[in-house]
Amino acid sequence: MFGTSGIRGPVGDEVTADLALAVGRAVGVDADRVVVGRDARESGQLLVDALTAGLRESGADVVDLGVAATPTVARSVRPEAADAGVVVTASHNPAPDNGIKLWQPSGQAYDADLRETITERIQTDAADLRAWDELGERVHRDARERHVGALVEAVDLAEGLSVVVDLGNGAGGVTVEALQRLGCDVETLNAQPDGSFPGRPSEPTPENCTSLATLVAETDADLGIAHDGDADRMRAVAADGTFLSGDVTLALLAREAASDGERVAAPVDTSLAVDDHLSATGVTVERTPVGDVYVAERASEAGVAFGGEPSGAWIWPDETLCPDGPLAACKVAALAAERELTERLREIETYPIRRDSLETSEKAAVMDRVRERVLAEYDDVTTLDGVRVDLGDAWFLLRASGTESIVRITAEARDEDRAAAVFTEAHDLLADAIDG
């Protein structure tokens, strides 16, 4: 039922009011007060109403934040003295989808054990419904100001910038307010919340953000920012229109956040460029499974100063364990105000990465064969998420997709010929495993 990013799927098929009601009842078993919010998808109101009904039936009071960014909701759990937070969102997924994601008071998403507890309650109908005079109350609150205030307090800007913010018709308006309060001149794209995402697809990829990159390049803007539908993701564009890759963004933010002897959490598909850029300052990278939930779990450990995913999720554990796109936007703006991003980019050496996938209807069996062979033939192997082989000057990763009948191949080296050779090695290994 729950993936690493909560429940997600097509509305009316996998995600229904019945499911939202069941989740509300399950969370309400041991929660007295719950914060809820949603992104701009029209189906979100229906799902929030059903979710709230389940919570109130269980005796839990509900603080409804309305349309709000996911980090706004996650950051509100503790200040509202709540036991949990629930966001109705499908994040960067397309308009027909919606979903439900659960948050702890620390700002961290529900971990595997907590997700399993909720799943078991739903499957066994383990609700604790109350009598008519014990139902929970529902109050409506606006938490934007609290989030904006926290962002302004967390960031110092050397000088104001000209920033273009592409909100992708999502719920990330707190970014605009925070940057303006920090002294920036802000122009917006796709600023009207609309869950059909008419301006561009929700996911802030280079392909989906060409208008942003062009506008930044052709004006005197210093920076471009792009969010997804619930603003847990942030991607950036330098003044010359360069769309920063996820690995480069991770390297920039991590180097600013971490000091000598500290660690950074990043998933197994993160580039060697991040390790190399951070090693000069005595910072080490610790790999996690793919998914911001796993990055947040590692970031909660002592000595981990930052966590990030190249997909655009960035975590500062001293602030919150929720990926906070608006906070990331303000942090990038601070870097750009201190020194131009284009200059900073020249200091990060990037390497060739090859990616592909092969289809298979037997992902689990294929990955078992891959794992057995790799462990027998290679010395430095990680099986946190798929199978990752470290070759010293190169690496490759074979990882089954969580949603498609494919196994993904990623290979990277510090020069093109070596990357091609390692990719071929990984491709052939996977092809042999598929053939049995």
The full set of domains in the chain, from first to last, is 7-141 (3.40.120.10), 146-345 (3.40.120.10), 353-435 (3.30.310.50)
From CA 95, how far away is CA 188, in angstroms rounded? 21
Q: Which of 12, 433, 39, 31 is nearest to 227 (CA)?
A: 39
- Judged against a pLDDT cut of 90, whether residue 319 lies above it is answered with yes
Instruction: State the Cα angle at 224 between 220 and 226, rounded to 5°.
Output: 155
Catalytic annotation on 91? yes
| 1 pLDDT tier (thresholds 50, 70, 90) | confident
State which amino acid sits at residue 24.
G
Query: Residue 112 and residue 316: Cα distance in Å, rounded?
Result: 21
Model confidence over 184-213: pLDDT tens digits? Answer: 999 999 999 999 999 999 999 999 999 999
Confidence (pTM): 0.94
pLDDT for residue 436: 81
Residues 136 and 52 sit within 8 Å (Cβ to Cβ): no
What is the average pLDDT across 83-94?
A: 96
Average pLDDT on 317-322 reads 96
Tell which residue, 210, 148, 154, 220, has the closest CA to residue 180.
Answer: 148
DSSP bridge pairs for 103: 85, 109
Q: What pLDDT digit, counting tens, does each position of 56-76 carry?
A: 999 999 999 999 999 999 999
Q: Are 263 and 305 in contact (CB under 8 A)?
A: yes
**Are the C-beta atoms of residues 204 and 294 closer than 8 Å to each other?**
no
The mean per-residue pLDDT over the stretch 349-355 comes to 94
pLDDT tens-digit map of 229-275: 999 999 999 999 999 999 999 999 999 999 999 999 999 999 999 99
> Alpha helices of 195-258 — where are they, by DSSP H?
210-218, 246-257
Out of 5, 58, 91, 202, pick the active-site residue.
91
Residue 402: pLDDT over 90: no
Angle between helix 144-154 and helix 325-338 axes, rounded to 10 deg:
30
Give tens-digit pLDDT for 293-303: 999 999 999 99
- Mean pLDDT confidence for 281-299: 95
- Collapsing DSSP to helix, strand or coil, 187 comes out as strand
Per-residue pLDDT, averaged over 107-130, amounts to: 95
